[in-house]
Amino acid sequence: MRVGEYSKVDHTESFQLNSLNKRIKIKRINKATITIRLTMIMLILLTIYGFLTFDYKNINLFDGILMTLTNLKVMFLEAHFVHFTFPEAIYQSLVTMGLALLTTLIGAFIALILALFAAQNLSTARVSNSIKGFVAFIRAVPTVLWVLIFAVAAGLGSVAAVIGMTFHSIGYLIKAYSESFEELDEGVIEALRGSGASWWQIVFQAVIPSSLTYLISWTFLRFEINFGVAIAMGAAAGAGGIGFDMFMASSFYLDLREVGTITYFILFFAVLLEIIATRIKSKLQIKL
């Protein structure tokens, strides 16, 4: 063994001994830790208190579980159409799909333009922070509330649902698009600026082509979200589609068998969208 090898071994052994001699530092309890623990304890106590004081209306727990299992059996094992037909269910499912697609396309177009100004490497700090602050407010409000807000002016129906869902989609996609733009190599942008390229030339020759796969993937992800939201809006805002049929079957007709059938239709289209999304992501080789 050579002298250099001896020195390497001695250095490794000394490093291991130093590592063993170091004491493990235990993090002291600070105000933030105390606050988090007290909050968790309060939530646990409130949950227990809620279960103990909840009005069960003289319903036995085991009887309730048995009734639930019976209803699930009727819903999914005895599913059939009563007030709707198979072609009507397909048509209403396509209406829901069209509502999700329309809101996604409109929201993606508007979000793409605003995201260019929200990206810090393409805009000024003031403009970027202003747009991101406004977008954060949009995302903080649930889609259902936006639909109800616009329903005051447009009335309950598909118009309010489209505007409300589009509004929330814009806020979601601006954040996703702008973060994709900000991940672009700053050297490419600086090189184009140094060569005399205009802002629009930088956008269409560098930014959009480099981020195109991410834009497609994020847009399709939002389309999947809008499909689920469109089902809920069909019941909550009277926007039509398969969600409204489920609302009628569950609350107006009180037919669990038809609710199960509609649920199967929704699951089929949801699985179909997931398969398409998986193939698109594998083709684009992107992990989100």
Low-confidence ranges of the chain (pLDDT < 50): 1-9, 13, 15, 17, 20
Helices 143-154 and 158-182 meet at what angle, rounded to 10?
A: 130
106 and 70 belong to one structural domain: no
46 and 145 belong to one structural domain: no
93 and 137 belong to one structural domain: yes
Q: For residue 106, what pLDDT is reported?
A: 93
232 and 190 belong to one structural domain: yes
Among 75, 90, 107, which residue terminates a domain? 75
How far apart CA 146 and CA 150 sit, in angstroms, is: 6
Q: For residue 44, what pLDDT is reported?
A: 94
DSSP code, position 233: H
Counted domains in the chain: 2
52 and 88 belong to one structural domain: no
99 and 52 belong to one structural domain: no
70 and 197 belong to one structural domain: no
Among 75, 107, 123, which residue terminates a domain? 75
188 and 273 belong to one structural domain: yes
Among 49, 75, 101, which residue terminates a domain? 75
Q: For residue 21, what pLDDT is reported?
A: 52
Q: In this structure, are residues 251 and 132 in contact, taking their beta carbons and an 8 Å threshold? A: no
131 and 185 belong to one structural domain: yes
96 and 215 belong to one structural domain: yes
92 and 217 belong to one structural domain: yes
**DSSP assignment of 126-150, as one string?**
HHHHHHHHHHHHHHHS-HHHHHHHH
Q: For residue 23, what pLDDT is reported?
A: 55
**Which residue range(s) make up the domain with 219?**
81-284
Across 62-133, the runs of DSSP E, i.e. the strands, are none
196 and 231 belong to one structural domain: yes
> Residues 19, 23, 27, 28: what is their CA dihedral angle, to the nearest 10 degrees?
-160
Collect all residues with Cβ–Cβ distance below 8 Å to 77 and sequence separation of at least 6.
Answer: 260
Chain-centre distance for alpha carbon 17: 49
Among 209, 218, 207, which Cα is nearest to 287's?
A: 218
Where residue 155 sits, what CATH number does that domain have? 1.10.3720.10
